[in-house]
Amino acid sequence: MQEKMQVYLDNNATCMVSPGVKDAMMPFFGELYGNPSSMHNFGGQVAKHLVIAREKVAAMFNVDPDEIVFTSCGSESNNHAIRGVLESNKEKRHIVTTKVEHPAVLNVYRFLAKNKGYKITELGVNKQGDLNLDELKTVLSPDTALLSVMAANNETGNIFPVKEIAEIAKEKNVVFHTDAVQAAGKIPLDLKKIPVDLLSLSGHKLHTPKGIGALYIRRGTAITPFIIGGHQENGRRGGTENVPYIIGLGKACEEAVAHMNEEAGHVSKLRDKLEAGLRSVITHTYINGNPLSRLPNTTNIGFEFIEGEAILLHLSKAGIAASSGSACTSGSLEPSHVLMAMGVPFTYAHGSVRFSLSRFTTEAEIDYTIKIVPDVIKNLRELSPFYEE
């Protein structure tokens, strides 16, 4: 029997903390405990590191450091962006997003529509999960206050054309926010070339511990502060800085930039090997998403006639961690809102499994996964009343 391995293929949910990030953070749990705002050396030396961390995050997007606001997580960044922009411009009453956004954006929009009387447009996607840019052009109006479109989808890995979208928004004079929690660090995002106004980032998808995020706010964008208090973050988010985690995020961005090519090469090669390895031996499988425009680390595979939770539990027993858009895994009764928006047939929507790799994924892990998955699928299909060989 093959020896059991531990294989983590759920990096779009969260990632392992990179050893480099951990090492960079440690001194700030110890001797470097000063408050960066203080007028003495304890604070002063910490403030210097904070400046460097902010520069590293800014460098990843080719923007100025004072356009970066540190937050507690991606969800806070999204809330800050959306509610802050609308608060500062109350005349316009129309907001536009997509049906496939992460709940950290979609539920904020729906909350505002329900409780604050905004008119909301949710753009649909085609079978491959892509937006129709012509439709986008027609829905933006002079009354549109804000547009949020993710840079890449967390479930399918689909990359959305943020450059074109940002240009359309600019032409229509609409503020544009992108949730780049999945895309940042995996694909280049040069914001000198992509005219987005706001961009959300999460640390733990970039190998920091959970509890840190950032929001890019283009200079000149009208936005109210999210936490009113001290002068920190240029008065946009009061509260003493979460120094160790900010240092960690700076390091993580630096590492991500250094490994960006590896992500596109090594990681996508392994992802493709996994996909091909599984599809060559397992029939009735489908790729959810657009294989020609995806993040290098993500594949979402629909296995027909079986259910995702059962797949995940068998995989977990074999040491493999993945996730599923199945209803049963979420506690709701419907499959993932992303797969439903794409019109994925029920025959494999419930049996969809997302494998998401990282630069720490090894070829041996992928080989092991290719060995384990087919038997799991075969056993569950033998149990299924809908599968006939």
Q: How far apart are CA 278 and CA 29, in angstroms?
A: 44
Q: Dihedral sign, CA of 207, 209, 210, 213?
A: negative
248 is a site residue for another protein (CB under 8 A): no
122 is a site residue for another protein (CB under 8 A): no
313 is a site residue for another protein (CB under 8 A): yes
282 is a site residue for another protein (CB under 8 A): no
- Residue placing its CB nearer to another protein in the complex, 232 or 324: 324
332 is a site residue for another protein (CB under 8 A): yes
363 is a site residue for another protein (CB under 8 A): no
Total interface residues for another protein by CB under 8 A: 26
- Residue placing its CB nearer to another protein in the complex, 133 or 321: 321
347 is a site residue for another protein (CB under 8 A): yes
Among 15, 73, 253, 328, the active-site one is 328
In angstroms, what is the minimal distance from the CB of 63 to another protein? Answer: 39
- Residue placing its CB nearer to another protein in the complex, 157 or 325: 325
- Residue placing its CB nearer to another protein in the complex, 91 or 388: 388
Active-site annotation holds for 328: yes
In angstroms, what is the minimal distance from the CB of 19 to another protein? Answer: 27
309 is a site residue for another protein (CB under 8 A): yes
384 is a site residue for another protein (CB under 8 A): yes
388 is a site residue for another protein (CB under 8 A): no
10 is a site residue for another protein (CB under 8 A): no
SS3 per residue for 134-158: HHHHHHCCCCEEEEECCCECCCCCE
Q: How far apart are CA 36 and CA 61, in angstroms?
A: 24
- Residue placing its CB nearer to another protein in the complex, 34 or 374: 374
331 is a site residue for another protein (CB under 8 A): yes
**Contacting residue, 66, 343, 346, 364, with another protein by CB under 8 A:** 346
Catalytic center residues: 328
Q: Which residues bind another protein (CB under 8 A)?
A: 305-310, 313-314, 317, 326-329, 331-335, 346-347, 350, 382-386
